[in-house]
Amino acid sequence: MSDEELRDQINKIAVDIESIEEIAKKKEAYVKNRISEEFDPKIQEIESNLESQQAILNEILKSIEELEANKKEMIPVVKDLEQKYSILKKEKEKYISEQCKAIAKEKKVKTKVIDRNIKLLEKELKSADKK
């Protein structure tokens, strides 16, 4: 193989690596968007409910003597919403993390093989230069 052919092959491999990296970036963005689309409406709904429930709870606490019965009803609702909110946020982050790790692993596997091929080609190029 000539030096020019080896350089062309190395350049082609570099383009392949860039392509893999771009695909990985797109996959990460897709995963983040997909998971966000799934979780964000639920999180926003619960967050909205939580904010409104907390506002009501604050009003109840101001007039605790008059509204003691309402206070007892609202506390479990707010706690339940806070718990759901927290759980959904943690699940979202967990899913994003898992998907991104899988993409990174896939990228690593693909680039490892390519890196090995590059090293072999570079070795061959060096050996051809010495001749």
Q: Which residue has the tokens 């010495």?
A: 130
Cα 62 to Cα 70: distance, rounded to the nearest angstrom:
12
Distance CA 21, CA 33 (A): 18
Task: Give the pLDDT confidence score for residue 7 in this predicted structure.
Answer: 92
Using the predicted structure, report yes or no on whether residue 11 has a pLDDT greater than 80: yes
pTM score, whole prediction: 0.44
Q: Which two tokens stand for residue 35?
A: 């998971």
The one-letter code for the residue type at 30 is Y
Residue 38 has pLDDT above 90, yes or no: yes
CA angle 16–17–19, rounded 5-degree value:
65
Burial class (CB within 10 angstroms; exposed 0-12, middle 13-18, buried 19+) of 84: middle
Q: Given CA atoms 63, 68, 72, 73 in this order, what sign does their dihedral have?
A: negative
Give the per-residue pLDDT at 58: 86
Q: For the segment 40-94, what is each residue's pLDDT rounded down to a tens digit? A: 999 999 999 999 999 998 887 777 777 677 778 889 999 999 999 999 999 999 9
Is pLDDT at 125 greater than 90 in this prediction? no
- The answer to whether the beta carbons of residues 31 and 100 sit under 8 Å apart is yes
Query: For 20-32, what is each residue's pLDDT tens digit?
Result: 999 999 999 999 9
